[in-house]
Structure 1
Amino acid sequence: MLLTVTNLNAGYRRVPVIKDIDFTLAAGQILGLIGLNGAGKSTLLKTILGLLPPLQGQVAVGGVTINENHQAYASQIAYIPEVPILYEELTLKEHLEMTALGYGLAIETVMERAMPLLKMFRLDQHLDWFPIHFSKGMKQKVMITCALVTDAKLFIIDEPFLGLDPIAIRDFIQLLKDKASQGCGILLTTHMLSTTADFCDGYLLLSQGHLVGQGSLSDLQAQFELADADLDDIYIAMAQGQIGRGFEPKEALLKEANQAGDRHD
């Protein structure tokens, strides 16, 4: 498995925000991480990125944990944050050069990989521009380009479509599909749920720090007995407390009732 999360508890000041998280992400797979605000999505991503140490359990990327080999762990990951993080004193070209240095790649290789992306995002004429001249969408495209030119195998993407126009969203989705077809794994969060149906292989449902559902849309429909529900319906049901932590499908409740009846016989 490319990413293995085992019995993970993590949080701040030794207070767990996410608890008992277990899931895997295979090479070539795209998973959508779905949850309400405050469900623990950012905490989970920060822990996978190595920005938060686990309170319990572990995260392995390519079979390596961050404690075993920090460099080997980090070099396999590329991150696209919700809010673009750029250095005001560096041009677009210098951001690409810094990415090359960070991942131990030749600058020429990175620039060769970047040019088709820059042309796609209409940034190829702005290599000498500073971030102050970029719109939010342009800054997001810079972050996307810097991530995709690396040799990373695992892409962590937080709300990737914010600030992007419809054409850029379409192009970015195709780029994600291309990366997956090349054997990369992608874990992303988004509230644009209807958009994910075209490219996500499965979903992780996070509620109150617990992973309450995972699998394909049909898996979630079966688990929560919502046969005709789409992702928006499932999200709304989770928001309204109809599914999530403490939820028991009818079959489980019937089984429990039958077991109780057997004990009284």
Structure 2
Amino acid sequence: MALEINKLVGGYSQIPVLKDVSFDVQPGELVGLIGLNGAGKSTTLNHVIGLLRPFSGSIKINGLTIQANPEEYKKQIAYVPETPILYDELTLREHIDLTIMAYELDHGEAWQRATKLLKLFRLDNKLDWFPANFSKGMKQKVMICCAFMTKAKLLIIDEPFYGLDPLAVHDLLDLIEQKKKEGVAVLMSTHVLDTAQRYCDRFVLLADGKVQAHGTLDELRAAGDHAGESLDEIYLHLAKGDRDE
């Protein structure tokens, strides 16, 4: 499996936000990480990409841990954050070159992939622009291009739809489908549950730092006697139940 999280306990300082979180993401599938604000989604992603150190438990990507082999572990991941992170002093062209160097990609092949992505998102005529010239949506598209031009085996995508126009959302979903066909594993955190229901293969539902349910939509329905209900309805039942306890 591409990503395996086992009994993860973690958070910030010494406060455990995540409590025995376990799930996996297989090659060629899109798993939706679903939860209300404060449920632990971003904390989970920050542990996977290595920004936080687990209190206990383990995270493996294709059998690698960040503790044993940090460089190879990180090369397995491409990350699209919720808030775009760009270098003010670098042009778009230089961001692409930086990505190529960071992942040690073949320069010519990587630029061929990047050029296709830049054309798709209508950024190919803005290679000499600086981030100050970009709107939030354009910055998000730059992050998507930099992530999808790599050969990473695991894509981590955090709330990707905010700031994107409808055409860009459609293009992003098509790119995810292409990556899945190439055997790439995709973990996507999102509040847009109707889109998640249509495109995700499985779901991990977080509440209060715990995995409340996981599986396909049919499995979630069967586990909670939610026959015929949407993902949105299933999650609301779980979230309200957790809040009322």
The residue correspondences of 1:15-164 to structure 2 (distance < 5 A) are 15-164=15-164
Give TM-score, length-normalised by structure 2: 0.97
Q: Is the 1:10–1:17 Cα contact (8 Å) retained in structure 2?
A: yes
Judge which range, 224-233 or 175-184, deviates more. 224-233
Name 1:215's counterpart in structure 2: 215
Q: Is the 1:97–1:110 Cα contact (8 Å) retained in structure 2?
A: no
CA distance in 2, matches of 1:245, 1:30: 28
Q: What is the CA deviation profile of residues 104-146 of structure 1, one whole-angstrom value per residue up to 9, with x for unaligned ones? A: 1133222111111111101110001111111111100000000
SS in 2 for 1:86: coil
CA distance in 2, matches of 1:24, 1:139: 30
Aligned AA (1:212): Q
CA distance in 2, matches of 1:209, 1:245: 13
1:82: how far off? 0.3
Q: What is the CA deviation profile of residues 197-225 of structure 1, one whole-angstrom value per residue up to 9, with x for unaligned ones? A: 22210000001000010001111111111
CA distance in 2, matches of 1:177, 1:226: 28
Give TM-score, length-normalised by structure 1: 0.90
Q: Structure 2: give runs of 5+ residues left out of the alignment.
A: none
Percent identical = 49
The yes-or-no answer on 1:231 pairing with 2:231 is: yes
Q: Which stretches of structure 1, 4 residues or longer, exceed 3 Å deviation after superposition?
A: 244-247
CA distance in 1, matches of 2:76, 2:243: 33
Higher alpha-carbon Rg: 1
CA distance in 2, matches of 1:50, 1:31: 19
CA distance in 1, matches of 2:62, 2:165: 34
CA distance in 2, matches of 1:158, 1:119: 23
SS in 2 for 1:137: helix
CA distance in 1, matches of 2:105, 2:96: 11
Q: Structure 1: give runs of 5+ residues left out of the alignment.
A: 248-265
SS in 2 for 1:84: coil
Root mean square deviation of aligned Cα: 1.3
